[in-house]
Amino acid sequence: MLSKVVQTEKNRWLVFTKPNPRARLRLFLFPYAGGSSLIFRRWQEALPADIEICSVELPGRGSRLREPAFATMPPLVEAIAQAIYPYLDKPFTFFGHSMGAIISYELSRYLRRRHQKVPVKLFISGRRAPQIPDEEQSTYNLPEPEFIEELRRLNGTPKAILEHPELMHLIMPQLRADFAVCQTYVYTSEAPFDCPISVFGGLDDHPVTRSNLEAWREQTTASFSLRMFPGDHFFVQTAEQTLLRILADELSALTMRFY
């Protein structure tokens, strides 16, 4: 059974909340920098029953805490592609927030180039369009005190963790690696997708402006939508219920195509 398959060492990349071999659509979820599959633990309950939820567990977190995290995009994307390819045997879609958004985008391009497979829809959250250069200074290589202050400013790491030296020592390599994946990313131009793209953003996420989100429209020849939610960069947590209602509606519309 699938629930046993994903527990093997070979498939340690994948966490199925509720295995459903009869699902009509498989939704892969990609976390933000520093995040693990746990951030999506409540999503299955809020999404349609004929959607199989699969969270991607990156090295350096969760059950893979002792594994070294990837620090650059290309080898990370290639490794994910190898891990999930056996699970692309039915229609699939990707949702990624922030770092997860750009990973899912590059993974989609990789799968298109290598395997002629693309998601039926891309859900992009909290990330500027890839063709827009990052004008902010790199922070992944800051000295530890300055790096911790940057984490505090971003408001994504709980205060209890920031003030726990042993925990910070444990997760610091993974956080730096995640930041490096994002901050060393280099965009290369390719043809836009022919699948729809839905983009989500936070009204108070000032570094990721509405115009930067609108620019994702250039990455598809199909339909495009943008929705803004109350909250900062981590609106996926503070506005989770609203986001999941909208996502459930969009996924239900997609699955109607496969009846």
Q: Is 116 left (phi over 0), alpha (psi -120 to 50) or beta?
A: left
The answer to whether residue 36 is domain-embedded is yes
The answer to whether residue 59 is domain-embedded is yes
The answer to whether residue 138 is domain-embedded is no
Q: pTM score, two decimals? A: 0.92
Q: For 44-97, what is each residue's pLDDT tens digit?
A: 999 999 999 999 999 999 889 889 999 999 999 999 999 999 999 999 999 999
The answer to whether residue 178 is domain-embedded is no
CATH number, domain of 248, equals 3.40.50.1820
The answer to whether residue 155 is domain-embedded is no
Q: For 216-235, what is each residue's pLDDT tens digit?
A: 999 999 999 999 999 999 99
The answer to whether residue 8 is domain-embedded is yes
The answer to whether residue 149 is domain-embedded is no
Distance, CA of 35 to CA of 30 (rounded, Å): 9
Which residues lie closer than 8 Å to 154 by C-beta, 6 or more apart? 233
* Count: domains in the chain: 1
Domain residues for the domain of 51 are 2-133+186-258
Catalytic: which of 98, 104, 125, 198?
Answer: 98
**Res. 8 pLDDT band, cuts 50 70 90:** very low
The answer to whether residue 128 is domain-embedded is yes
- The reply to whether 225 belongs to the active site is no
